[in-house]
């Protein structure tokens, strides 16, 4: 998308795109798609860990699928054992901020602290320093680029969002199956921001329905990190 137009309306549209556009790298570097010539997908879960994450891990294990979990620091402090369970099951862990705050109109210090506290919580629970970050609500803001650079984090957006926080599982599964394409990144949620004991039945139903269908279609699942390190993976264009 070009942001060269000179009107105020166009400038507003461009800022909106820069903040939330899945392929924008204006406010921070991010990736959103792997190699389009490979029938590979990444399935990603945000807002965990939650009390229901282990139920999801069992479904992933049944299908031998590795996933990426973008965790909030506050949730990791509440459930460090579940964070370790995710890692022990062979999945990838990324940073999804500490308290799931929206970053627009926040200071660079606030944004840095949100990322750093989550990084600390994940490290304390698992011994791991994540290299991937997903912005809460997909919102990037001024200061995020610097915070990511200081902490060695690459942003990850998505190609398909399940809307599993509001749609029934069957509808979410349809969105995933219909939207999946080579190199795609599917975005779901094993928590609901930082609420304790969230109801994630929609997510679990969707994963149970969609995974066998996507595997039947010939897709192989990679972690987001593995998907992006494939030869033709590319960063989003600003
Ligand atoms: Zn989130």
Q: Is pLDDT above 50 for 144?
A: yes
From the CA of 97, how far away is ligand 1's center (Å)? 9
Question: What tokens does 70 get?
Answer: 């973008």
Q: How many angstroms separate the Cα of 119 from the Cα of each of 74, 76, 123, 144, 157?
A: 11, 10, 6, 14, 18
Helices (H), ranges, the chain: 8-20, 53-62, 73-78, 80-88, 108-126, 144-151, 169-179, 201-216, 224-228
Q: How many angstroms separate the Cα of 50 from the Cα of each of 73, 83, 134, 198?
A: 12, 9, 17, 7
Question: Would you put residue 137 in left (φ > 0), alpha (ψ -120 to 50) or beta?
Answer: left
Catalytic positions, please? 46, 189
In a domain, 97, yes or no: yes
pLDDT for 237: 42
Q: What is the number of alpha carbons within 13 Å of residue 124 lying toward its C-beta?
A: 14
231 phi and psi, to 5 degrees? -55, -40
In a domain, 11, yes or no: no
pLDDT for 50: 98
In a domain, 21, yes or no: no
From the CA of 72, how far away is ligand 1's center (Å)? 8
pLDDT for 19: 77
State pLDDT tens for residues 163-193: 999 999 999 999 999 999 999 999 999 999 9
From the CA of 203, how far away is ligand 1's center (Å)? 13
Q: Is pLDDT above 50 for 1?
A: no
* Cα 179-174-85 angle, rounded to 5 deg: 85
pTM higher than 0.85: yes
Q: Is pLDDT above 90 for 101?
A: yes
From the CA of 178, how far away is ligand 1's center (Å)? 22
In a domain, 23, yes or no: no
What value does the mean pLDDT of the chain take? 91
In a domain, 1, yes or no: no
From the CA of 2, how far away is ligand 1's center (Å)? 28
Question: How many CB atoms neighbour CB 89 within 10 A?
Answer: 16
In a domain, 65, yes or no: yes
Low-confidence winner among 15-19, 64-68, 90-94, 98-102 (lowest mean pLDDT):
15-19
pLDDT for 234: 53
Q: Which of 31, 97, 46 is nearest to 200 (CA)?
A: 46
How many folded domains does the chain comprise?
A: 1
From the CA of 96, how far away is ligand 1's center (Å)? 7
State pLDDT tens for residues 149-159: 999 999 999 99
Q: What is the CATH number of the domain that holds 202?
A: 3.20.20.370
- Asked whether the beta carbons of 176 and 206 are under 8 A apart, the reply is yes
From the CA of 135, how far away is ligand 1's center (Å)? 7
Q: Is pLDDT above 70 for 80?
A: yes
In a domain, 17, yes or no: no
Q: Is pLDDT above 70 for 238?
A: no
In a domain, 162, yes or no: yes
From the CA of 230, how far away is ligand 1's center (Å)? 26
Enclosing domain of residue 62: 29-235
């Amino acid at each position: 998308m070009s942001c060269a137009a000179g009107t105020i309306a166009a400038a507003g549209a461009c800022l909106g795109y820069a903040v939330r556009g899945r392929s924008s790298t204006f406010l921070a570097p991010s990736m959103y798609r792997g190699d389009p010539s490979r029938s590979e997908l990444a399935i990603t879960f945000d807002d965990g860990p939650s009390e229901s994450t282990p139920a999801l891990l069992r479904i992933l294990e049944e299908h031998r699928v590795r996933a990426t979990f973008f965790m909030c620091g506050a949730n990791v402090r509440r459930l460090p054992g579940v964070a370790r369970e995710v890692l022990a099951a062979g999945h990838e862990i990324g940073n999804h901020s500490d308290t799931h705050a929206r970053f627009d109109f926040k200071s660079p210090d606030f944004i840095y602290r949100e990322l750093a506290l989550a990084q600390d919580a994940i490290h304390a629970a698992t011994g791991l320093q994540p290299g991937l970050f997903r912005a809460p609500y997909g919102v990037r803001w001024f200061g995020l680029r610097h915070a990511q650079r200081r902490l060695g984090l690459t942003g990850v957006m998505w190609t398909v969002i399940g809307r599993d926080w509001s749609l029934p599982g069957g509808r979410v599964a349809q969105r995933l199956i219909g939207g999946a394409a080579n190199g795609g990144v599917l975005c779901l949620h094993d928590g609901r921001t930082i609420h304790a004991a969230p109801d994630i039945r929609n997510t679990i139903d969707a994963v149970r329905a969609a995974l066998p269908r996507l595997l039947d279609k010939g897709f192989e699942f990679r972690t987001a990190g593995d998907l992006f390190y494939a030869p033709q993976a590319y960063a989003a264009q600003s």
